Structure 1
Amino acid sequence: MAFSENWKTIMDEVADFSRHNSGIVWFRGHCNSTFSLNSGLFRLRIGNQISEYLSLENQMFNYFKSLGYLQSLDEKDEWTIVYSMQHHGLRTRLLDWSESFLVSLFFANLGWNTGSCSIWMINPESLNAASIGTSEIKLPTKNGFLTKHADSNIKSRAIYPNKSNSRIVAQHGVFTVQGNSLTPLEKEFSETLFSSNSLKRIDLTYEVREDVLNYLKLNGINHFSLFPDLDGLSKYINDTHINPAWL
């Protein structure tokens, strides 16, 4: 079955954005188009003071490092510990992005049962130019994560993480590190990123969901391709061998 005209329009929008940004684009999928670009830490409703979030961030970091001692966490630098926290589901100021549109589409589809989902696209170099005055995207390797982010004026920026596990490699994973403004990324820089066409959200209405499923299948994107471990394999086998009507 051919793809719908609505899907072709969406693909043209993605291609146009990528072309405008010379192919330097990161993607993030949301199963609900109302979701903001807030990291797990800042999605919590702790209060209106950044000090409350910083206190929790410090407590969770130190607790994770202390109880993870037998996993050799004491030997790792602070950034590697934060990557591990994010990987295992703790609330951090890291926000997951991917260098692959297909990966973001997969995650937008997860949990999408009604209404609209969305794909966010950002030029990470433009983000850093607005945030830290240089378009360079660094791979942080030194200690000082907690000290650095205690600065109330620090802004969100894009980083390359260490590809320390098979999932982040399979998902072409990258991160933005949220700053301390207590505002989501899409509002943090006012209209600067939007007006320069460096940040954009595309909403996908439910009528194109069949297109999304077909596109993912055609490109071999599934749980096992993005979660190349036994958990991902088990979910993939469930998806392919169990009829939803049996559940």
Structure 2
Amino acid sequence: MNEIRINSWDELQQELFAESWNEDLGRFRSRFAFRGLSDSNYTLQTTLMRLGGDYAPLERHLMRNFKKYAHHSAVESDSFWHWMARAQHYGLPTRLLDWTYSPFIAMHFATANICKYHLDGAIWAVNYIKVHQLLPELLQKRLDAEGANVFTVEMLAETIHNQEELAALSRDHSVIFFEPPSMEQRIVNQFAFFSVMPDPTKSLCKCLDSHPDMWRKIIIPAELKWEIRDKLDQANITERVLFPGLDGLSQWLRRHYSPKDASSICQTD
């Protein structure tokens, strides 16, 4: 079973750190990417997909205008991958999905929205080593040459120069995990990286369904969310740390001092 419903904090830790022992290294080194969602019914849908309609052709227009109006110093290098990572970071709809190496940060994002505490949450765990074994030979050789498990934007920029070249690599099960440049402290603090599919219309969920040995989805019952949230706060896994600045500080304080019955602050017009 790929969906695992946990019933306690201890069970959650066991599931998140499962398969982390690396026999070759003699160390605990997980090879999973984690993504926390406040609603277990949410799918692995990109912000580009959420635009709806015929969204795929819009990507080119979004990126062209982002580059046009953003100051050129916004990126370290004028490459397709640097611009895509920067755009994702600032909220532009893209084909990228956010992940983290840290199971605790995934737990944060699964429990940060107190307006969703009546719903089960979820944490997706995807083995990026196994996923990369499905990549075209060109990309696998690039990883092997670096002795790396995950791409950097520099590695991708040297191999895939634009959207057309990315599309040419499109196969049903091609998924690339890559690390963005440390453009801001929040990227570093969130231990963040991205996934991208060569075809922006392909669903990552459907890809994973074809390879059940590569992933699991851990369901967090709604009734456990407050316990998890309180323990994360005690461990200093909060918005104040993950979103350095006054906005993150304000988000943390607002949530921290909200009543357990948050119905009043969750009302919408």
Q: TM-score, normalised by structure 2?
A: 0.77
Q: Distance in 1 between matches of 2:7 and 2:43?
A: 28
- CA spacing shift, 1:9–1:89, aligned 2, 3 Å: same
| Residue 186 (structure 1) shift | 2.4
Correspondence 1:48-67 to 2 at 5 A: 53=56, 55-67=57-69
Moved more, 168-177 or 73-82: 73-82
Matched, 1:200 2:216: yes
Instruction: Give, in angstroms, the shift of residue 22 of structure 1.
Output: 4.8
| 1:40 equivalenced with 2:54 (yes/no) | no
Q: In the alignment, which residue of structure 2 is the partner of 1:149?
A: 166
Give matches, 1:6-17, under 5 Å. Answer: 6-17=8-19
The alpha carbon displacement at 1:38 in A equals 1.9
The aligned residue for residue 80 of structure 1 is 82
Aligned-pair identity (%)? 23
Query: How far 1:72 moved relative to its partner?
Result: 5.2
Gaps of 5+ in 2: 1-5, 23-27, 144-148
**Closer, same or farther: CA 152–132 of 1 in aligned 2, 3 Å:** closer
| Structure 1, 125-134 or 23-32: larger mean CA deviation | 125-134
Deviates more, 1:168-177 or 1:19-28: 19-28
Is the Cα contact below 8 Å between 1:61 and 1:82 reproduced in 2? yes
Q: 1:147 Cα deviation (Å)? A: 2.6
> The residue matched to 2:182 in structure 1 has which SS?
coil
- Pick which of 221-230 and 66-75 moved more: 66-75
For residue 113 of structure 1, the aligned residue among 117, 125, 146 is 117
**CA–CA distance in 2 between the matches of 1:146 and 1:183?**
15
Pairwise mapping of residues 94-109 of structure 1 onto structure 2 (< 5 A)?
A: 94-109=96-111
Which letter maps to 1:105? Answer: M
Work out the number of aligned pairs and report it. 236
1:175 aligned to 2:197? no
2:203 pairs with one of 167, 175, 184: 184
Root mean square deviation of aligned Cα: 2.8
Give matches, 1:203-222, under 5 Å. Answer: 203-222=219-238
Cα distance in 2 for partners of 1:72, 1:223 equals: 24
2:42 is paired with a residue whose SS is coil
> Unaligned 5+ residue runs, structure 1?
none
**Bigger shift: residues 76-85 or 55-64:** 76-85
CA drift at 1:159: 1.1
Contact 2:208 2:215 in 1 (8 A): no
Structure 1 range deviating more: 179-188 or 157-166: 179-188
More helix by percentage: 1
Report if aligned partners of 2:136, 2:169 keep a CA contact under 8 Å in 1.
Answer: no
Alpha-carbon shift at residue 241 of structure 1 (Å): 5.1
Note if contact 1:120-1:200 (Cα within 8 Å) is conserved in structure 2.
Answer: yes
Distance 1:232 1:46 in 2: 33
Question: How high is the TM-score relative to the length of structure 1?
Answer: 0.83
Aligned residue identity for 1:184:
S
1:162 to 178, 181, 187: 181
Q: Does 1:234 align with 2:250?
A: yes
For the residues of structure 2 that align with 1:109 and 1:34, how far apart are their CA atoms? 14
Q: In structure 2, the residue corresponding to 1:150 is in which secondary structure?
A: helix
Which amino acid in 1 is paired with 2:230? N
